[in-house]
Amino acid sequence: MNEGKAYREALRKAKRIVVKVGSSTITYANGKRNFSQIDRLAREISDLQNQGKEMILVSSGAVAVGVDRLGLPAKPATIPGKQAAAAVGQGVLMHTYEKIFADYGQIVAQVLITRMEAIDRHRYTNSRNTFMELIKQGVIPVVNENDVVALDELKIGDNDNMSALVAGIVDADLVIILSDIDGLYTANPATHPDAKLVSTVLEITPEVEASAGGVGSARGTGGMATKIQAAKAATNSGIQLVIASGTEKNAIPRILQGEELGTLFVSRENRLQFRKRWLAFGAQIQGSIVVDDGCAKAIRKAGGCSILPAGVYEVVGSFQTGSTVSVIDKEGHELARGLVHYTSEELAKIKGCKSGDIANILGHKNYDEVIHRDDLVILQ
């Protein structure tokens, strides 16, 4: 088996998958919804969800649909004009998804986010918690940028890059970008008829970036260049990414069956290792949690464990929910670092208590855990 084929076969194991669909895939040239394409997309995603996959849809098209509903001759040139079209189109598009996915027995949820979710740790954590709860409940999140309020977000490639952002938030295994582009070519096929489709990209070099063109269709906002940006973000986060044509029948399941469809951008990083390396060495430490001997012993075991309030002995410093904190034992040895689910003030009240008592003490309960094992990196 050649190297490219081996990487393709590995996609069969992907469980949590972000699918990004472009405006040009789900709308016609006049901006009206392409119900045939939307239905096929919903059917493929629903079938995979039924197989036990965890599917997340990042959808463009709100502005295009809003332009059609408002009867405008073209996409507005101004930011307020685009935001107004997005405000109208988002509701129409979401209603369409809700109705069609329901026909296949699925529940969907609208999630509107901005790039602030990647910058602000508190908002990142809140977004992650929401996504994880939706996934746990078997709901398919339908994600778009909050175009109505994000002043600088309506620009080229917002939802291409948004798909990589969402994938990072949810620790996805794979991103599939579906558009009117078949994948990455050795040159622009529109001007170079001899250009060949690249099946596998092991490293995004300056030459690879140079082979990407400009913006996409009039209805969409992203071309190959923005998809390369998304691929860099995904692969640098330890996530595989595939670019393929949205008009290909059964594109998503075929990709997940290892078929060489479109272009696969390979990540050589294990996603959990990458994320935990960021926690260990990239995040600013906001405070410390001192744990008792029993908790310290459990943390040192292979694989670690979640940290519960009962194991917390002392809280040092002031920090907010979602902050990165140091976990130390009573002798002052740093055992781990992780993302905390409670503020220092809240934690000082619930330390040493059982998880079942959190709500009675605080009046609310974010989580049973102070730090979940998935958000904890062991340093010893």
DSSP string, 205-216: -HHHHHT--S--
57 and 72 inside one domain: yes
Q: Which CATH number is 284's domain given?
A: 2.30.130.10
Which stretch of 69-73, 174-178, 208-212 has the lowest confidence by average pLDDT?
208-212
Write the CB contacts of 78 (distance below 8 Å, at least 6 apart in sequence): none
* Tens-place pLDDT, residues 57-76: 999 888 899 999 999 988 88
180 and 60 inside one domain: yes
* Tens-place pLDDT, residues 16-67: 999 999 888 999 988 899 999 999 999 999 999 999 999 999 998 888 999 9
User: Residue for token digits 């959990």?
Assistant: 272
Residue 31's pLDDT is 84
User: Which tokens belong to 315?
Assistant: 């809280």
User: Which tokens belong to 340?
Assistant: 């905390």
Residue 162's pLDDT is 86
133 and 17 inside one domain: yes
Residue 37's pLDDT is 95
Residue 186's pLDDT is 86
216 and 283 inside one domain: no
Mean per-residue pLDDT for 359-375?
91
Residue 53's pLDDT is 97
170 and 22 inside one domain: yes
Residue 72's pLDDT is 93
* Tens-place pLDDT, residues 303-323: 678 999 999 999 999 999 988
Residue 150's pLDDT is 58
User: Residue for token digits 């094992």?
Assistant: 373
Between the CA of residue 83 and those of 19, 78, 149, what are the distances in Å? 24, 9, 8
Backbone region of residue 158 per phi and psi (left: phi > 0; alpha: psi in -120 to 50; beta: other values)? alpha
Q: Which of 225, 247, 269 is the last residue of a domain?
A: 269
Which stretch of 120-134, 211-225, 348-362 has the lowest confidence by average pLDDT?
211-225
Under 8 Å between Cβ of 324 and 286:
yes
- What radius of gyration, in Å, describes the C-alpha atoms of the chain? 22
Residue 1's pLDDT is 47
Between the CA of residue 235 and those of 53, 172, 193, 265, 369, what are the distances in Å? 21, 11, 29, 7, 30
Boundaries of domain holding 162:
3-269
Read off the pTM: 0.74
Q: How many domains does the chain have?
A: 2
Q: To 5 degrees, how large is the angle CA 140–CA 170–CA 302?
A: 130
173 and 317 inside one domain: no
* Tens-place pLDDT, residues 240-299: 999 999 999 999 999 999 999 999 999 866 665 666 666 666 567 889 999 999 999 998
Q: Report the percentage of the chain scoring pLDDT > 90.
A: 53
Predicted confidence band of residue 153 (pLDDT cuts 50, 70, 90): very low
31 and 116 inside one domain: yes
163 and 252 inside one domain: yes
